[in-house]
Amino acid sequence: MSETVTMPGKTTIAPDVLLTIARLTALSVPGVARLANVSGGVNSIFKGGVYEGVRIAVDHGIVNVDIYVILQRDVNVREVCRNIQAHIARAISEMVGMEVGRVNIHVEDINVESNV
């Protein structure tokens, strides 16, 4: 008697999952104070969802991310931005198995508030 092997089915990832992964990953990078608000508008309709500080576009299975950040003061901006890009690309790739095309970082401001 032969055994029948059935395929487990298909997995669908909601766009909000990608937004959450990108948002939480960016906030976990040292030097990021918070995410900036992204204004909505016509651009959001064509590019995918809009979330606090994050825009996601999926084109032919490739994820493109725009992150709008406010950085802490006294950080190396270039280094922090590169870390954000690497962390987000790795998180999306490892967590959902999707290819990441671009991770664009938009530095909107530097947090100058004193935590004293």
Q: Could you report the per-residue pLDDT of 92-116, keeping only the tens digit for each?
A: 999 999 999 999 999 999 998 865 4
Tell whether the model's pLDDT for residue 19 goes beyond 70: yes
Residue 17 tokens read as 């999952």
**pLDDT computed for residue 84 by the predictor:** 98
Tell whether the model's pLDDT for residue 1 goes beyond 70: no
- To which residue do tokens 């900036």 refer? 36
**pLDDT computed for residue 4 by the predictor:** 76
**pLDDT computed for residue 38 by the predictor:** 77
Q: Strand (E) positions, the chain?
A: 32-35, 50-51, 54-59, 62-72, 99-111
The whole model's pTM is what? 0.81
Q: Taking the domains of the chain in order of start, what are their residue ranges?
A: 15-111
Nearest to 23 by CA among 52, 64, 63, 58: 52
- Does 3.30.70.1350 match the CATH number of domain 15-111? yes
